[in-house]
């Protein structure tokens, strides 16, 4: 289900975030973009619209939107990327295509099967992601040129 810029803005308002023109632009960018974006790509896009905007400001807003649950953050081999939250309201993990960034939700949690944690250790949070190629990208890779 595609999320609109207005829905992103409403979620930010609901959580007490002040809505500036720059944050409206960020909401619009992520609502329109189908794949995950690097902070650098977001900074370059925003810099064309807001000359003088610093990378730190862009990154701080991305982190804040992530902390609010508006954006999801993925740590890939080529760096960190952000995308609109998939909207799952329960604990879940992701399968991510390394080629096109298509993301699938997985409701199974492997932490349920983890044993051997040190005695008294309390897991506060965890992250589990599976990387590979989606069916379309795998088919293109297997097709001779």
State residue 67 phi and psi, 5-degree precision. -60, -30
Calculate the CA 102 to chain-centre distance: 11
Is residue 86 a known part of a binding site?
Answer: no
Is residue 134 a known part of a binding site?
Answer: yes
Q: Which residues contact 61 (CB under 8 A, 6 or more apart)?
A: 22, 23, 26
Is residue 126 a known part of a binding site?
Answer: yes
Q: For residue 133, give the 3-state DSSP assignment.
A: coil
Is residue 109 a known part of a binding site?
Answer: no
Classify residue 78 by burial, with Cβ atoms within 10 Å: 0-12, 13-18, 19+. exposed
CA 127/CA 91 separation, integer angstroms: 10
Is residue 137 a known part of a binding site?
Answer: yes
Calculate the CA 52 to chain-centre distance: 25
In the annotated binding site for Zn(2+), the residues are 97, 100, 134, 137
Q: Which residues are annotated as a binding site for Fe cation?
A: 91, 126
* Residue positions forming the annotated binding site: 91, 97, 100, 126, 134, 137
């Amino acid at each position: 289900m595609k999320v609109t810029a207005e829905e992103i803005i409403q979620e930010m308002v609901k959580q007490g975030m002040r809505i500036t023109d720059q944050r409206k632009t960020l909401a619009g960018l992520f609502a329109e973009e189908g794949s995950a974006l690097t902070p650098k790509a977001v900074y370059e896009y925003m810099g064309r619209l807001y000359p003088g905007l610093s990378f730190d400001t862009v990154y701080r807003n991305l982190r804040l939107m992530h902390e609010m649950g508006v954006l999801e953050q993925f740590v890939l081999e080529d760096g960190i990327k952000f995308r609109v939250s998939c909207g799952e309201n329960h604990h879940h993990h992701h399968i991510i295509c390394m080629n096109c960034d298509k993301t699938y939700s997985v409701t199974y949690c492997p932490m349920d099967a983890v044993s051997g944690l040190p005695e008294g250790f309390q897991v506060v949070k965890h992250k589990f992601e599976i990387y590979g190629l989606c069916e379309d990208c795998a088919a293109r890779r297997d097709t001779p040129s």
